Amino acid sequence: MSAIYLNEVRMIGNVGAEPVLRKTDGGLSVLNLGIATTYKTAKHERTDWHRVVLWGVLAEHAARNLRTGSCILVAGRLSNNKWTDEAGVERFSTEIVGDAMQIISGWKNERAQEEAGLSTAAPAKQTESFSDDTVPF
């Protein structure tokens, strides 16, 4: 009998800062994002910040089209990282490695729709993904 494993994340949130596209030494595009999600109850409101990393064509698409405050849906998997910092302290972090993204609202969608005379209430769908074969791990 084989075990069944699942590591899948889908999240809708707002981009926290202007995305900055970088390149690896091998020339692969990588984009790190902070995405905020807010949980509300009758008495409390809590915002959580999530680290997201996008690779390749998806990273390039996101860099061209996202701005601070853009609302996006990201789908991917959780990745846990462990390293030792300069002081010799072991550090841990968890990030979402995105393999698909859809812009729900944001700078490019809203601006293009306004210029076309369309309402921003129903933004155009923009989805782009890439295969696992292009991820370097």
CA 37, 109, 98, 89 torsion-angle sign = negative
Helices (H) and strands (E) in the chain, counts: 2, 7
The first and second tokens of residue 100, run together, are 């698909």
Task: Considering only residues 109 and 2, tell me which one the structure prediction assigns the higher pLDDT.
Answer: 2
Structure confidence by residue, pLDDT tens digits, 20-74: 899 999 999 999 999 999 989 999 999 999 999 999 999 999 999 999 999 999 9
Structure confidence by residue, pLDDT tens digits, 96-131: 999 999 999 755 555 555 554 544 443 333 344 444
Domains of the chain: 9-129 (2.40.50.140)
DSSP string, 54-103: EEHHHHHHHHHH--TT-EEEEEEEEEEEEEE-TTS-EEEEEEEEEEEEEE
Distance CA 100, CA 56 (A): 11
